[in-house]
Structure 1
Amino acid sequence: MKNLTLEHITKACRGTYHGDTGKLSEEVSGVVIDSRKVQPGYLFVAIDGERVNAHKFIPDTIQAGALCVVSHEDLGETDYPYILVESTGQALLDIAKLYRDSFDMKVVGITGSVGKTSTKEMIASVLSQKYKVHKTLGNFNNEWGLPITIFDMPEDTEVAVLEMGVNHFGEMRRLSSVSSPDICIITNIGVAHLEFFKTREGILQEKTQMIQDMKDKGTIILNGDDDLLANVGPIKGVSPVFFGQGDNCQFRADNIEPLGLRGTACTITLKDGTSFDCIVPLPGIHMVSNALAGAAAGYALGLTADEIKAGIEGLPSIPGRGNIIKTDRLIILDDCYNANPISMMASIDVLNMAIGRKVAVLGDMGELGEDEKELHRSVGEYAAEHGIDLLCGIGDLCREMVDGAVKKSTATKALWFADKAEFLNAMNDILQEGDNILVKASHGMHFPEIVDALTNI
């Protein structure tokens, strides 16, 4: 890995090198925090988990061929080289920053309360029409995931599309100082992680910290349909450009026509006035917003309107994120990777586009703070207001969701299940052939199990 010699790594993480000084000029061939992934020539960074001391696996990594390890424990005299640091977590970020800065490339940084991953996928699809793109795998967007994404970059990367997720104050600067984005994109300011940020204004404050680490002459791209983001003025002397449906947006969508679960047709207008018709291939009005973010990023990096359109229409679906699964008996909207009230309601909107009976299988949403019961109830009310035929709520908090649906409308049948097992035992009796079924919950509910069961009915 270019520039990642043991000497440069030691300096970057302000560590103390112990071992054969003759190896200081050697480059590591990979950087990992999972001891099971070590290969010959790798650097192992020993980051302790909540229950596991990673340092106990150091002998295994040396046996597997690790060139060196990074430790916050003084290992004493060893027959292998190691770098002693104050914090291995911070060292991981420092080493990732060293590697990121060795690339002559553009970085697109993405954050927001909802839609980071789907927006990342859209932007990567658009930019891939012209550039060699590396993107965050899945949602590896935290203080461990971002460095791992960077270490996985091929050396011919021209654009990196990096997702950054935070849930506490101060985390964004630790991520954005590593990524140093050329383009900063914020999808929206919702209510996710209110338990820690307390208010939407607090979320805005933290998310916009990304821009403080933007490269000179960078580009700020914000959702102009978000009430808080629409009022953001110049930062570091750079005026934001906005995407959305409002008159304040330089990248706009008009003539929006839902095509059911096949996606959405629309006309996209770019900043220079160029327009084109396209079909966003995944359902939901929120996907049009993602397409506009992709158009804005593509425009900033010199793509033509034809290239932008090709990238939007070529967007692949990904499991757990608006993925449509068609079986002989059912149509399943697999959106189960994660959930918060805004994304729940957006997914209900998508389900409402379906033809036939509409079933929502929803689970608990986490990290909503003291208003968690009220927010779950509001989702149930929203489902009833929007004509969902059957709501299945799974988990303790979803009892509130079911109650909200029942009190809002008798037209929506609402059933509560204590856990997944209870629902799985009952589903054959309550589902009907031809049902359109949304599956969504917070990641910790592990709802892919439900998607698998529905797929095999």
Structure 2
Amino acid sequence: MAIEELYNYYLGNSQISTDTRNITPGCIFFALKGDNFNANEFAVQAIEKGASYSIVDEVAHSINERCLLVDDVLTTLQDLARHHRMQLNIPVVGLTGSNGKTTSKELINAVLSERFKTFATFGNLNNHIGVPLSILAIKSDVEIAVIEMGANHQKEIEFLCSIVQPTHGIITNVGMAHLEGFGGFEGVKKGKAELYAYLKVANGYVFINRDNAFLMEMCASKHLNKLIYYGSENGNTIKGTLKTSDPFIEIDWTNHEESTSVKTNLTGSYNFENILSAICIGDFFDLSPAEINCGLANYVPKNNRSQLTKTEHNTVICDFYNANPSSMSAAIDNISVLTADKKIVILGDMFELGDESEAQHRLIAMQAVKSDPEKIILIGNSFYLFKDDFNAIFFKTPAEAVTYLQQNPIKDHLILLKGSRGMKLENLLQYL
């Protein structure tokens, strides 16, 4: 089936589903395949549950006119999203980076929504499946879209840009993330810079943190023309100064015409640059300082990223959605400067570090010890390698840590809880 023909089906049934547990009446079900599943087998079930059509790529499952046969379901989903994007005549901000992608996306969305009908990637649907789903969720009344793009290997951002077709772009930063797939830090820089390369060809705008030497180096190599700078020094379109981050961030900022300040609900000084990027993008799209500040002040993190949570007994910095050496180091630095009588650091393993894993886990363990909290708990096989090297409590699994917390209740502490998604450290929260 030609994409143009399928697009006509989409226009009449614009809800997309890839999971039979989330079928909505009239949606189109895309029967994706994975290492351990083949959704072609559920195509008829999806229709029985209310889907208008199922997109399949196996003849055996194309049993009636509502099971539409294509060569490859995933490629078709991506091509359909690309075709839909070409029909949208709106600014699209493409966003990537090693750390801060989702927080920056949420802040940019919060700011732009003060003036525009804005669409932003839901959650972190930022990969080769999530990005097409995000694009296909953009309705005709949307005025600006903010699309998050993640990557764990080179050429992935380049491919996602072919679908997103951003008119504007921002790389939050580059750090020690997905080193295994990228082939080291230089590979990370090269992979993230694919967004700059796309915007160079597309003659798009780039928002760039002038304080970040790596980003400036990457930007210079692409010879970009339309640059909008933000940072802490004079000469930027937006200049900001961190007033405090204990516990919540408050900043002063100016756009050369007006100076103002804003207090946010975010913790962690590392979020200063994420906030400044949202200010810069809001200013570019002609929002007033008052509108920008309103969007920032009203944003409350709820995604376990830099989220300060009061439990019955403690205050917990919930930052356990994901982790890499760069973000882990920043989180440890942050709790070190926060005011609290008693502090505990609980860290889980960092994944996808390849050959760098042992060295990076050792460095983070060392930093945690130097930060001198009352107690350090390190969880996971990678940290466990150093159980005889550092003055910390080690567990191989989160379940072992839960048993310890049940037997040794913690009260009246400020606690950092951070680790990679696969560690599922959220299971510890109820015991803190």
Fold match by TM threshold 0.5 = yes
Measure the CA separation in 1 of the matches of 2:407 and 2:47. Answer: 55
Determine the structure 2 residue equivalent to 1:124: 109
Shift of 1:11: 6.5
Give the 3 Å change call, closer, same or farther, for CA 344–179 of structure 1 in structure 2.
same
Shift of 1:375: 0.3
Matches within 5 A, 1:383-398: 383-398=368-383
Shift of 1:142: 0.6
User: Alignment partner for residue 261 of structure 2, among 271, 277, 289?
Assistant: 277
Task: Say which SS state the counterpart of residue 279 (structure 1) adopts.
Answer: strand
Preserved CA contact (<8 Å) 1:224 1:248: no
Measure the CA separation in 2 of the matches of 1:432 and 1:28. Answer: 52
Measure the CA separation in 2 of the matches of 1:169 and 1:30. Answer: 31
Give the 3 Å change call, closer, same or farther, for CA 65–279 of structure 1 in structure 2.
closer
Measure the CA separation in 1 of the matches of 2:376 and 2:325. Answer: 15
Does residue 329 of the first structure (1) align with residue 317 of the second (2)? no
Measure the CA separation in 1 of the matches of 2:413 and 2:10. Answer: 62
Determine the structure 1 residue equivalent to 2:328: 344
Measure the CA separation in 1 of the matches of 2:135 and 2:271. Answer: 26
Determine the structure 1 residue equivalent to 2:430: 452
Deviating more after overlay: 76-85 vs 109-118: 76-85
Does residue 418 of the first structure (1) align with residue 404 of the second (2)? no
Give the 3 Å change call, closer, same or farther, for CA 81–111 of structure 1 in structure 2.
same
Measure the CA separation in 2 of the matches of 1:303 and 1:24. Answer: 37
Amino acid at match of 1:425: T
Determine the structure 1 residue equivalent to 2:45: 60
Amino acid at match of 2:176: V
TM-score normalised by L of structure 2: 0.92
Give the 3 Å change call, closer, same or farther, for CA 361–84 of structure 1 in structure 2.
same
Amino acid at match of 2:240: A
Task: Say which SS state the counterpart of residue 12 (structure 2) adopts.
Answer: coil
Determine the structure 1 residue equivalent to 2:357: 372
Task: Say which SS state the counterpart of residue 92 (structure 2) adopts.
Answer: strand
Measure the CA separation in 2 of the matches of 1:81 and 1:260. Answer: 57
Does residue 299 of the first structure (1) align with residue 283 of the second (2)? yes
User: Alignment partner for residue 243 of structure 1, among 208, 227, 230?
Assistant: 230
Task: Say which SS state the counterpart of residue 113 (structure 1) adopts.
Answer: coil
Amino acid at match of 1:299: D
Shift of 1:86: 2.9
Shift of 1:67: 2.8
Q: Alignment RMSD, CA only? A: 2.4
Preserved CA contact (<8 Å) 1:44 1:70: yes
Preserved CA contact (<8 Å) 2:409 2:431: no
Determine the structure 2 residue equivalent to 1:223: 209
Determine the structure 2 residue equivalent to 1:252: 239
Measure the CA separation in 1 of the matches of 2:254 and 2:286. Answer: 15
Measure the CA separation in 1 of the matches of 2:235 and 2:353. Answer: 31
Any gaps of 5 or more consecutive residues in structure 2?
A: none
Measure the CA separation in 1 of the matches of 2:291 and 2:249. Answer: 19
Deviating more after overlay: 88-97 vs 207-216: 207-216
User: Alignment partner for residue 138 of structure 1, among 105, 116, 123?
Assistant: 123
Shift of 1:76: 7.8
Task: Say which SS state the counterpart of residue 319 (structure 1) adopts.
Answer: coil
Number of residue pairs matched? 429
Preserved CA contact (<8 Å) 2:118 2:142: yes
Task: Say which SS state the counterpart of residue 306 (structure 1) adopts.
Answer: helix
Task: Say which SS state the counterpart of residue 281 (structure 1) adopts.
Answer: strand
Measure the CA separation in 2 of the matches of 1:265 and 1:41. Answer: 46
Task: Say which SS state the counterpart of residue 375 (structure 1) adopts.
Answer: helix
Matches within 5 A, 1:88-237: 88-214=73-199, 216-231=202-217, 232-233=219-220, 235=222, 237=224
Amino acid at match of 2:209: N
Measure the CA separation in 2 of the matches of 1:197 and 1:451. Answer: 32
Give the 3 Å change call, closer, same or farther, for CA 440–304 of structure 1 in structure 2.
same
Preserved CA contact (<8 Å) 1:7 1:24: no
User: Alignment partner for residue 440 of structure 1, among 414, 418, 427?
Assistant: 418
Give the 3 Å change call, closer, same or farther, for CA 428–180 of structure 1 in structure 2.
same
TM-score normalised by L of structure 1: 0.87
Amino acid at match of 2:412: G
**Identical positions, percent:** 29
Measure the CA separation in 1 of the matches of 2:55 and 2:326. Answer: 41
Measure the CA separation in 1 of the matches of 2:362 and 2:13. Answer: 52
Give the 3 Å change call, closer, same or farther, for CA 421–400 of structure 1 in structure 2.
same
Does residue 310 of the first structure (1) align with residue 294 of the second (2)? yes
More helix, by proportion: 2
